[in-house]
Amino acid sequence: MNITILGAGAWGTALAISLAERHRVVLWGRDAELIRDSAARRENFRYLPGIRLPDALDVSADFGYAVAHAAVDGLLVAAAPVAGLRGLLERLQPYAPANIIWLCKGFEERTRMLPHQVVRDVLGDFIPAGTLSGPSFAQEVARGLPCALTIATKSHDFRDHVVRAIHGGNIRVYWSEDLVGVEVGGAVKNILAIAAGIADGLGLGYNARAALITRGLTEITRLGVALGGRPETFMGLAGMGDLILTCTGDLSRNRQVGLGLAQGRPLAAIVADLGHVAEGVRCAQTVRALAHERKVSMPITEAVAGVLFDGDPVQQIVARLLARDPRDEAL
């Protein structure tokens, strides 16, 4: 199958490396200098240093060529972060794409839209589309280590098309029709990973981490159901699976943000040192606002947003959460 991945960051590059073993893959990036360097070195030195790009992988900065590659019975993969998704889709409009999946997780800040709503807003409802999500560190996928992902789409035919493209090798694919649930799980877990990083950075122990993850899953489910998601989705890969990985894995950028905050480092310096997008930082304000709007209780998210944007000390997360009244766990 002809597959084009639009976005040469860590996750886009990792997926391209994995799929190039079985398909004809073009990896496009908007930074022409990075793309030329990656093609020459056969390595994306900026985002995945030390991991070789397969000889069969076509790396290009020519947008028209990359889109045309997947035009007939192929697959387009948008690998931009949420902040860049709308711009990428608008650039795609004149090419009348036949289908698309996206990898980003979060909410668009200005509109509070989930990615599938942004896609619908720009491209309409007329093309098969879906999101690919789940617990997946780019470095591990690029190294050929196993992972399991979920494709969420309303179209059964397109679902089967995506499964043929992605499932195989080191990647196992499951499917869901719950776009809202899958995307809410992928967005909110990043905020909770910041909380877990803070707790670990403060030396609060495994008990506290387990409590944060468990109660964090409750917060994800509350918001997801309020926005139209299915409760069972949050017990799957895009909910519990992604949450566990992001809260506990040292490759998690959002967890690293929390660890840095616990050390007293300024947020701007932490994000600059990462060199990658930490979607939990972008997402926290939006999720807090949505929780208020929908009257959904999200105390961990509230505490993280307070640290990130209101100047609350990190120790206040612990004090605020421990001071809450006892309650029925199921509520």
Question: Residue written as tokens 């972060």?
Answer: 81
Q: Which amino acid is at 71?
A: A
Considering the candidates 105, 154, 189, 295, report the single residue annotated as catalytic. 189
User: Under 8 Å CB-to-CB from 151, ≥6 apart: which residues?
Assistant: 101, 130, 131, 132, 159, 162, 163, 166, 173, 174, 175, 176
C-alpha dist (Å) from residue 5 to 131, 243, 266, 281: 14, 25, 34, 25
Q: Choose one of 157, 177, 197: the last residue of a domain.
A: 177
Together in a domain, 199 and 120: no
204-208 average pLDDT score: 93
Per-residue model confidence (pLDDT) at position 138: 97
**Residue 154 falls in the annotated catalytic set:** no
Q: Is the pLDDT of residue 198 over 90?
A: yes
Structure tokens at 103: 């990898």
Q: In CATH, what number is assigned to the domain containing residue 218? A: 1.10.1040.10
3-state DSSP assignment of residue 330: coil
Together in a domain, 239 and 106: no
Q: Is the pLDDT of residue 153 over 90?
A: yes
| Average pLDDT in the chain | 95
Together in a domain, 276 and 298: yes
Per-residue model confidence (pLDDT) at position 317: 76
Together in a domain, 173 and 189: no
User: Under 8 Å CB-to-CB from 210, ≥6 apart: which residues?
Assistant: none
Q: Is the pLDDT of residue 228 over 80?
A: yes
Q: In CATH, what number is assigned to the domain containing residue 89? A: 3.40.50.720
Per-residue model confidence (pLDDT) at position 322: 74
Q: How many domains is the chain partitioned into structurally?
A: 2
The boundaries of the domain holding residue 96 are 2-177
Residue 159 — pLDDT band, cuts 50, 70, 90?
A: very high
